[in-house]
A and B are shown apart, each in its own frame.
Chain A
Amino acid sequence: MLKRVHFPSSLLPYLLVAPQVLITLIFFIWPASQALWQSMLIEDAFGLSTEFVWFENFQALMDDPLYLATFKRTAFFSLAVAFVSMSFSLILAGFADRVIRGATAYRTLLIWPYAIAPVLAGALWVFMFNPTLGIVAYGLEFLGYEWNHKVNGGQAMALVIMAAAWKQVAYNFLFYLAAMQSIPKSVVEAAAIDGAGPMKRFWTIIFPLISPTTFFLLVINMVYAFFDTFGIIHAVTQGGPANATTILVYKVFNDGFVGLDLGGSAAQSVILMALVIAMTVVQFRFIERKVEY
Chain B
Amino acid sequence: MAKIILDNLKKSYGATEVLHGVNAEIEDGEFVVIVGPSGCGKSTLLRMIAGLETVTEGEIYIGERMVNGLEPADRDIAMVFQNYALYPHMSVRQNMAYGLKIRGLPRDEINRRVEEAAEILEIGDYLDRKPRQLSGGQRQRVAMGRAIVRQPEVFLFDEPLSNLDAKLRVQMRLEIRKLQKRLGVTAVYVTHDQVEAMTLGDRLMVLNGGYAEQFGTPIELYERPQTIFVAGFIGSPAMNFLPGRIEGDAVVLENGSKVPGGAGSGQVTLGVRPEHLVADDKGPIRLQVILAEQLGANTLVHGVLEGTDTQLVVSLAGIRAVTEGEVMGFSIAREQMHLFGPDGRRIN
Q: State how many angstroms separate the Cβ of B78 from the closest Cβ of chain A.
A: 7
Beta-carbon contact of B79 and A190 below 8 Å: yes
Beta-carbon contact of B83 and A208 below 8 Å: no
Q: State how many angstroms separate the Cβ of A191 from the closest Cβ of chain B.
A: 7
Cβ–Cβ < 8 Å partners of B229 in chain A:
none
A150 CB-CB contact with B under 8 Å: no
Distance in angstroms between the alpha carbons of A192 and B73 in the assembled complex: 6
Write out, one digit per residue, whether chain B residues 94-130 have a CB within 8 A of any chain A CB (1) or not (0): 0000110011000000000000000000000000001
Q: State how many angstroms separate the Cβ of A207 from the closest Cβ of chain B.
A: 10
A205 CB-CB contact with B under 8 Å: yes
Beta-carbon contact of B73 and A186 below 8 Å: no
- Among A28-36, A53-61, A194-202, the one that faces the other chain is A194-202
Distance in angstroms between the alpha carbons of A204 and B150 in the assembled complex: 18
Beta-carbon contact of B99 and A194 below 8 Å: yes
A189 CB-CB contact with B under 8 Å: yes
Cβ–Cβ < 8 Å partners of A204 in chain B:
98
Beta-carbon contact of A194 and B85 below 8 Å: no
Write out, one digit per residue, whether chain B residues 49-81 have a CB within 8 A of any chain A CB (1) or not (0): 011100000000000000000011100011101
B88 CB-CB contact with A under 8 Å: yes
Contact A194:B89 (CB < 8 A) given known A186-B81, A189-B52: no
Q: State how many angstroms separate the Cβ of A204 from the closest Cβ of chain B.
A: 8
Contact of B72 among A187, A192, A200, A293 (CB under 8 A): A192
Beta-carbon contact of A191 and B98 below 8 Å: yes
Beta-carbon contact of A194 and B83 below 8 Å: no
Contact A209:B88 (CB < 8 A) given known A184-B83, A192-B71: yes
Distance in angstroms between the alpha carbons of A200 and B98 in the assembled complex: 11
Beta-carbon contact of A193 and B102 below 8 Å: no
Beta-carbon contact of A187 and B88 below 8 Å: yes
Cβ–Cβ < 8 Å partners of A192 in chain B:
52, 71-73
Q: State how many angstroms separate the Cβ of B10 from the closest Cβ of chain A.
A: 21
| CB-CB nearest in chain A for B156 | A193
Contact A184:B99 (CB < 8 A) given known A189-B52, A193-B73: no
Beta-carbon contact of A209 and B89 below 8 Å: yes
Cβ–Cβ < 8 Å partners of B52 in chain A:
189, 192-193
Distance in angstroms between the alpha carbons of A139 and B71 in the assembled complex: 42
Q: State how many angstroms separate the Cβ of B274 from the closest Cβ of chain A.
A: 39
Contact of B88 among A196, A197, A200, A293 (CB under 8 A): A293
Beta-carbon contact of B50 and A193 below 8 Å: yes
B87 CB-CB contact with A under 8 Å: yes
Distance in angstroms between the alpha carbons of A194 and B98 in the assembled complex: 7
Beta-carbon contact of B89 and A196 below 8 Å: no
| CB-CB nearest in chain B for A200 | B102
Contact of B73 among A196, A205, A208 (CB under 8 A): A196
Most buried by B among A184, A186, A190, A195: A190
Q: State how many angstroms separate the Cβ of A98 from the closest Cβ of chain B.
A: 14
Beta-carbon contact of A195 and B102 below 8 Å: yes
Beta-carbon contact of B78 and A193 below 8 Å: yes
Write out, one digit per residue, whether chain B residues 116-159 have a CB within 8 A of any chain A CB (1) or not (0): 00000000000000100000000000000010001000000000
Interface residues in B33-60 by Cβ distance below 8 A to A read 50-52
Cβ–Cβ < 8 Å partners of B78 in chain A:
193
Beta-carbon contact of B103 and A195 below 8 Å: yes
Q: State how many angstroms separate the Cβ of B2 from the closest Cβ of chain A.
A: 16
Cβ–Cβ < 8 Å partners of B86 in chain A:
187, 190
Given A192-B71, A193-B51, 18 further pairs, Cβ under 8 A: A184-B83, A189-B52, A189-B81, A190-B79, A190-B81, A192-B52, A192-B73, A193-B79, A193-B99, A194-B150, A195-B73, A195-B99, A195-B102, A196-B73, A209-B88, A293-B88, A293-B89, A293-B130
Residues of B that sit less than 8 Å from A by CB = 50-52, 71-73, 77-79, 81-83, 85-89, 98-99, 102-103, 130, 146, 150
What are 24 sample pairs from A and B whose C-beta atoms fall under 8 A apart? A186-B85, A187-B85, A187-B86, A187-B87, A189-B52, A189-B72, A189-B79, A189-B85, A190-B86, A192-B52, A192-B72, A193-B73, A193-B78, A193-B99, A194-B98, A194-B99, A194-B146, A194-B150, A195-B102, A196-B98, A196-B102, A208-B89, A209-B88, A293-B130
Q: Which 8 A-B pairs have the closest CB atoms?
A: A194-B99, A293-B89, A186-B85, A195-B73, A190-B85, A195-B102, A186-B81, A193-B72
